[in-house]
């Protein structure tokens, strides 16, 4: 083949390669539940899947915190009552604010021993994740609810199932104080 033929062939291959590169589907980033599952699998726990009931509970909590601009597990009421519709025997909640994406939020939770325990809740199989922005759009609040399987139905002659165990954890970005209803804090007591 002459020099021009070789150059044309290389150019055609280069163009074909570029077309394939552009046309190839972009690998989608892992979903939040896949990120949590990956972390759980590395630490001997099972996968979790998104659950619409837990997503709704997390969204209601994130929206309530954003509306009040207050990082609080009780922004919408006690966790035990809020998570009751999920029918979970065990559940935990992590909340945070100030992070612009889930990956950063998850990283903060992983680095915190209490949040880490919640992420690794034994026998958890379901998760709900949500975020909401304040009215000004300047702050994002995150809520994650992780839970085990649905409680078995109680029937005649059956003992009550294990009571709901609720564990809550919250985190604020470094340098940003959590809001508090304390007027005076003395020796760790809120007065």
pLDDT band at 1 (very low <50, low <70, confident <90, very high): low
DSSP letter at 75 equals: B
Long-range contacts of 129-132 (CB under 8 A, 24+ apart): 129/32, 129/33, 129/50, 129/55, 129/58, 129/102, 130/55, 130/58, 130/59, 130/61, 130/62, 130/63, 131/62, 131/102, 131/105, 132/59, 132/62, 132/63, 132/65, 132/66, 132/67
Domains within the chain, CATH numbers bracketed: 32-150 (3.40.33.10)
Q: What is the pLDDT of residue 27?
A: 44
Q: Are 103 and 35 in contact (CB under 8 A)?
A: yes
pLDDT beyond 70 at 179: no
pLDDT band at 30 (very low <50, low <70, confident <90, very high): confident
Q: What is the pLDDT of residue 129?
A: 97
Instruction: Tell me the Cα Rg of the chain.
Output: 23
> Would you state the structure tokens that stand for residue 113, as one six-digit string?
């021993």
Quick one: how many helices (H) and strands (E) in the chain? 6, 7
Q: Tell me the average pLDDT across 25-51.
A: 87
What pLDDT digit, counting tens, does each position of 116-162 carry? 999 999 999 999 999 999 999 999 999 999 998 765 555 444 333 33
> Would you state the structure tokens that stand for residue 71, as one six-digit string?
């990082």
Query: From CA 53, how far away is CA 75, in angstroms rounded?
Result: 18
Q: What is the pLDDT of residue 103?
A: 94
Whole-prediction pTM: 0.69
pLDDT beyond 50 at 184: no
Q: What is the pLDDT of residue 169?
A: 54
What pLDDT digit, counting tens, does each position of 94-121 carry? 999 988 899 999 999 999 999 999 999 9
Mean of per-residue pLDDT scores for the chain: 78
What pLDDT digit, counting tens, does each position of 48-69 carry? 999 999 999 999 999 999 999 9
pLDDT beyond 90 at 177: no
Q: What is the pLDDT of residue 52?
A: 95
């Amino acid at each position: 083949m002459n020099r021009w033929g070789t150059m044309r062939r290389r150019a055609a291959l280069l163009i074909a390669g570029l077309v394939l590169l552009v046309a190839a589907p972009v690998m989608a980033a892992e979903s939040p539940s896949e990120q949590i599952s990956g972390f759980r699998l590395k630490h001997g726990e099972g996968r979790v899947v998104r659950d619409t009931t837990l997503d709704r509970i997390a969204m209601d909590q994130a929206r309530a915190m954003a509306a009040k601009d207050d990082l609080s597990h009780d922004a919408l009421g006690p966790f035990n009552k809020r998570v009751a519709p999920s029918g979970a025997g065990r559940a935990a909640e992590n909340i945070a604010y100030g992070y612009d994406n889930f990956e950063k939020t998850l990283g903060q939770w992983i680095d915190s021993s209490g949040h880490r325990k919640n992420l690794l809740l034994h026998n958890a199989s379901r998760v709900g994740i949500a975020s909401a922005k304040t009215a000004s759009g300047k702050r994002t609040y995150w809520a994650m609810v992780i839970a085990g399987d649905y409680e078995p139905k109680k029937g005649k002659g059956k003992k009550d199932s294990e009571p709901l165990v609720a564990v809550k954890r919250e985190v604020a970005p470094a340098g940003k104080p959590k809001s508090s209803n304390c007027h005076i804090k003395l020796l760790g007591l809120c007065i």
